[in-house]
Chain A
Amino acid sequence: MSSTIEDRDLVRRAVRGDRRAFETIIMRYQQPLYNYLGRLLGERELALDFTQEVFLKAYASLPSYRPEYKFSTWLFTIASNHLIDHWRKKKIPATSLDHARDDEDGDCLPQVADGRPSVSRSYELREIRGRIEKALGRLPAPLRELFVLRHVNDLSYEEIAALKKLPVGTVKNRVFQAKEMLRGLLEETI
C-alpha cells in the first residue's frame, strides 16, 4: 500500500494524541479491512461492526506496535484474531482443517476432474466473480481466510505467514487447496 506519509509516522503521531493521523490510518485501511471481514463473515452489518472494533482495538494497542513490522500485517493480525475469537464463540472450526493437509509438498485435494467444460469457456469474468462470492461461503473458514488474504487483499505469502504465524509453505499449500476447492465448487454449478 503506497502512501505519501509512511504508516509508522502516522502511528507515531497518533500515539502522541494526533487524532487526524489515526483518521488517516482508518481512511487508508478501512476498505481492505472491510473487504476482508465482509467476505469472511458474509454479513454486511456484522462486518461493519467488526471493522470498527478492529480499529478501536488497534487504537488502544498502538503503543505496543513495533515499527520494524509492517503496519498492515499488524492490523490484519488484530482482525484475524478478532475473527478467530468470533468463530470460537460460534463453534466454527477456526484452526483445524477437516479437508486439508498441512504437509509442504502434498499435492492434496484437487478432487476436481479436468476435462469437463472449462469455466473459462462457460462464463464471463463478471459472472464468475458473482459465483466466487457465493462459493467463498462454502469454503472451510481457515481456507477462506487465507484465500481472501492472498487473492482479495493481495497480501504476499510471506505477509500471510507472518500474520498467521505459519510457515510460508503451509500457507501456500492451503491457499492452493482453497483455489482448487473453489474451482471445484464453481464447476459444480455449471
Chain B
Amino acid sequence: MNCLGSEETYDYVEGLLDPERRKAVEAHLDSCPGCRARFEERRLLVAAAEGLPDLPLPPDFAARVMARIPPAKGSVFSWAAAAVGALTLLYAGLLAYILGSGRSPAGLMAAMNGMLWQAGKQSVLLLAKIVKFGAVLLRLLGGFSDELMKAGDRLFSWAGPGVIVSLGVLATLLAALVVYGVGRKLSSGEEP
C-alpha cells in the first residue's frame, strides 16, 4: 500500500473509511513511521477542535428570548369550543341533579330556568364582589402586582383556552357552593 494522502488520513481519523480500507490503513500505519506521525498530528487537531469548550451563555438566556416573543393567543374557534364544552357540562350536571330529584318535565324546565336565573344573578353579584376584593388585594400587595400580572399573563399564555375555561367553571362552582352553604346556615340560624 502507498503512503496515505492527507484527505484519506482525515477520513481514517473521522471513521469514514469502509472496514476493508480501514484495516489496510491500520496495517500501513503500523509499518510507516512517516504516515503514523502525520496521522497523530491530524488526529490531535481533530480531537482538539471537537473538544473545544462551550462558550459561556447567560443562565437566563432562554427567558430573555421568551420575553421577546408575544404571548400566544388561542384562536376564536378554540375559545368558542372550550366555552361551549364547559356550558354543555354545566347544563348536563344541572339536568342530572334535577332528574335525580324526580320532577315532571314541565316542573323540570321551570326548575332549570329558575336555577339558571338564580345562578346567573348570583354569578353577577359574585363577580362584582370578586372584582372589588381583587382591587383591594392588588392595592394591598402594591409592588407585587406587576409580578402577579406577569404570572397571570404567563398562565394565560401557557394554558390553552380549554384549561382556562375549565378552571373558570370550577372556580365559579366552588364559589357558588360556598355561597349556597353559607346562605343555608344563615337561614337556619346557625353560625357559619
- Whether the pair B10, A152 counts as a contact (CB closer than 8 A) is no
User: Is A5's CB within 8 Å of the partner chain B?
Assistant: no
Partner of B6, one of A31, A120, A180: A180
**Which residues on A sit within 8 Å (CB–CB) of B40?**
118, 120
| Assembly CA distance A114 to B74 (angstroms) | 64
Q: A19-B157, A48-B58 are in contact. Are A129 and B48 (CB under 8 A)?
A: yes
**A 78-117 contacts with B by CB, 8 A:** 107, 110, 114
**Contact in complex: A56, B65 (CB < 8 Å):** yes
Instruction: Given the known inter-chain contacts A19-B71, A39-B55, please indicate yes or no for A151 contacting B66, CB distance below 8 A.
Output: no
**Tally of contact residues, B, Cβ under 8 A:** 39
Main secondary structure on A side of the interface with B: helix
In this assembly, does B125 line the interface, its C-beta being within 8 Å of a C-beta of chain A?
Answer: no
Query: Is A44 positioned at the interface, with any CB of B under 8 Å from its CB?
Result: yes
CB distance from B15 to the nearest CB of A (A): 11
B50: A residues at CB distance < 8 A: 151-152, 154
Query: In the assembled complex, which residues on chain B have CB atoms less than 8 Å from the CB atom of A35?
Result: 52, 54-55
Closest Cβ of chain B: how far from A133's Cβ, in Å? 7
Set of chain B residues within 8 Å of A176, measured between Cβ atoms: 6-7, 10
Chain A 144-183: CB-based contact to B (< 8 A → 1; otherwise 0): 0001000110100000000000000000000010011011
In angstroms, how far is the closest chain B Cβ from the Cβ of A17?
3
Partner pick for B68 among A23, A47, A52, A147, CB 8 A cutoff: A52
Given contacts A47-B55, A176-B10, contact A30 B61 (CB under 8 A): yes
Which chain A residues have a beta carbon within 8 Å of chain B's beta carbons? Answer: 16-20, 22-23, 26-27, 30-31, 34-35, 38-39, 44, 47-48, 51-52, 55-56, 59, 107, 110, 114, 118-120, 125, 128-129, 132-133, 147, 151-152, 154, 176, 179-180, 182-183, 186
